Amino acid sequence: MAVSRDEFFREVTLRICSSLQINTAFGRVFEYLREHFPMDHMFLDITDKSLGVIRHIAVATIGTKTPEEIITIPEGLWEWVRKLQVPFILTPSDQDDRIRAFAPLIKLEGHSDLSMPLRIEEELIGFLVLRARGEGKFTPEHVELLATVAEPFAIALANVLAHEEVIKYRDILIDDNRFLNREILSSAGDDIVGGNSGLRNVMEMVRQVAPLSNTVLLMGETGTGKEVIANAIHFASPRKDGPFIKVNCGAIPESLIDSELFGHEKGAFTGAVAAKRGRFERASGGTIFLDEIGELPPQAQVRLLRVLQNREIERVGGSKPISVDIRVIAATHRNLERMVSENRFREDLWFRLNVFPIIVPPLRQRKDDVPALTRHFVELKSRELGIATPPAIAPGALERLMNYGWPGNVRELENLVERELIRHRGGQLRFDSLLPSERGGETQPVTEGKSGGPLNLDEAMSLHIGKVLKMTKGKIHGPGGAAELLGINPNTLRGRMNKLGIIYGRVRR
Ligand SMILES: Nc1ncnc2c1ncn2[C@@H]1O[C@H](COP(=O)(O)OP(=O)(O)OP(=O)(O)O)[C@@H](O)[C@H]1O
């Protein structure tokens, strides 16, 4: 025991901090402490009040027998355990009732323990326990010497706990990421309707380009499915287990775009209270999907060009470049070539992006996909809306949907199906009242006439007759017909309709 307190403190502290692996560091301390304490085992324990247990987090021993890992403490003893402050000696025949009650729980029979409570900011977080075979092995000098290293052990234990917490969250995040990737895959990759018909050429190009890492440019009107195709490329590529990060370039305010895309260092600008990774960094190892690329402001276009050229980004306020391993897929509904000629989009960026352009055709050019898409959305939206049995589609309805122009493309069809399902009150889905081209007027009441002033009487009458005809599905004559609802003779109604130029044929059922 002839060791100075300073030297003892220094050696123990160096050893307990010598490795990030607590068992390795703990083994090194054990070797050293055995020179000063008569012990066979040493435990680093954490106390978990919520579970009512003490758990060994590290064990060092000269024997092979592994002690119990978890010790359950009865409710009545917690108060006593929680208040323990200084190292204390435990023997099975101790005079203290509580120690005698505690002894069998920790299997003390035939041993002595020297136990040191470990505290951080007053709160008990665990114990360091030295165990020797035989009773009466520890002396007050041992107690005093061990007390000098309470702090380094408490800090080491707190670090282990913090590390465990980080690992736990990391595992949760990895698991979430896997789950979300699977979700995206099942909601996109598998569900491309028309892959063998209207999108056959597009899918052929997807198959060609997916295994590579080159930039892809998706062009097509809004709502044609560009994002769906970008997903398909990512999930068919070797990067499929990496992130798929989407950026809607048109939706980020210009003042934030640099920090969103490239991240920033702490203190780079007012409000940058912590360093933040940008979307490019987050996409590393995976794919970044730059939607609405035509909306990117000129400054950000320059920065993007640099990323495409060097595969490096620089955080706002940062001084060194960070390399990123990403695949870029860009999309636009704009005519970028025209924007280049109008000096609204950089020509050099356009060349970089336009390496492998894929044009996603509008729905009106692939009308044969409309029936399959409609059925797909009826199934999908019924599931989302909690409708157990998706309603059937009325004969003739699909034909009518195919004859519509779909300016909003697949998204418009998707929305139409959803609205129809929400309004659906039994029977088959007819879609007859919802097609915008067949609406008698807007869904909102119209109060403004062609002249810009209020509706004149003819305009109001025309609108009203149109609405009623829509309700009766074009029926003019007989019970439930428009004439009856409007309270006029059917011939009078026909006369008015001719005068007002309303052509309204009976809808086929
Ligand atoms: N071939 C398809 N099969 C199944 N669903 C599709 C298909 N094409 C598009 N969709 C669906 O239609 C909606 C619109 O598609 P998406 O968002 O990919 O269009 P977009 O071209 O990226 O639109 P925008 O230009 O407005 O961003 C999405 O809900 C998508 O899931």
Contact at 8 Å (CB) between 299 and 255? no
Testing ligand 1's pocket by substitution, the residue of 193, 410, 413, 414 carrying the most ligand atoms inside 8 A of its CB is 410
Residue type for 335, please? Answer: N
Per-residue model confidence (pLDDT) at position 335:
92
Ligand 1 midpoint to CA 410 (Å): 6
- The CB of 247 under 6 Å from ligand 1? The reply is no
Distance between CA atoms of residues 263 and 267, nearest Å? 12
The finding on whether 228 has its CB within 6 A of some atom of ligand 1 is yes
* Exposure of 252 in the CB half-sphere (CA atoms within 13 A): 23
- Superfamily (CATH H level) for 188-359: P-loop containing nucleotide triphosphate hydrolases (3.40.50.300)
The rounded Å distance from CA 495 to ligand 1 centre is 45
Give the list of residues 6+ apart from residue 131 with CB closer than 8 angstroms, or none. Answer: 39, 40, 41, 42, 43, 111, 112, 113, 114
Residue 287: closest CA among 227, 359, 354, 224 = 227
CB 373 within 8 A of CB 193: yes
Long-range contacts of 380-383 (CB under 8 A, 24+ apart): 380/191, 381/414, 381/417, 381/418, 381/421, 382/421
Beta strand 287-291 with 327-332 is parallel
Q: What is the CATH number of domain 5-163?
A: 3.30.450.40
The pLDDT value given to residue 434: 53
Query: What pLDDT is recorded for position 438?
Result: 46
* Residue 444 pLDDT: 41
d(CA 195, CA 183): 20
One-letter amino acid for residue 247 of the chain = V
Which residues lie below 8 Å from residue 340, measured CB to CB, with a gap of 6+?
346, 347, 350
Give the residue whose CA is nearest to atom 24 of ligand 1: 222
pLDDT of residue 454: 65
- Residue numbers in the chain where pLDDT is lower than 70: 1, 64-68, 178-179, 181-191, 273, 433-454, 503-509
On whether the CB atoms of residues 381 and 418 are closer than 8 A, the answer is yes
Q: How far apart are CA 216 and CA 19, in angstroms?
A: 47
List pLDDT tens digits, range 350-377: 999 999 999 999 999 999 999 999 999 9
The answer for residues whose C-beta is within 8 angstroms of residue 507's C-beta and 6 or more apart is 432, 473, 474
Ligand 1 centroid from CA 409, angstroms? 8
- Is the C-alpha dihedral spanning 372, 377, 383, 388 positive or negative? negative
pLDDT of residue 362: 95
Q: How much is the pLDDT for 452? A: 55
Ligand 1 atom index nearest CA of 193? 3
Which helix (DSSP H) or strand (DSSP E) does residue 290 occupy? strand 287-291
- Residue 427 pLDDT: 83
Dist. CA 387–CA 390, nearest whole Å: 6
User: C-alpha distances in angstroms, 257 versus 97, 115, 244, 285, 336?
Assistant: 68, 57, 19, 22, 20
Under 8 Å between Cβ of 266 and 309: no
Helix (H) or strand (E) holding 59: strand 53-61
Query: Do the domains 364-438 and 188-359 match in fold?
Result: no
We find that the CATH architecture of domain 364-438 is Orthogonal Bundle (1.10)
pLDDT of the residue at 53: 86
Tokens of residue 43, six digits: 């435990």
The pLDDT of residue 293? 95
CA-CA distance, 262 to 281, in Å (whole number)? 7
Indicate if ligand 1 lies below 6 Å from the C-beta of 231: no
Domain spans, the chain: 5-163, 188-359, 364-438, 441-509
Q: Distance of CA 19 to CAs 23, 148, 216, Å?
A: 9, 21, 47
Does ligand 1 have an atom closer than 6 angstroms to the CB of 92?
no
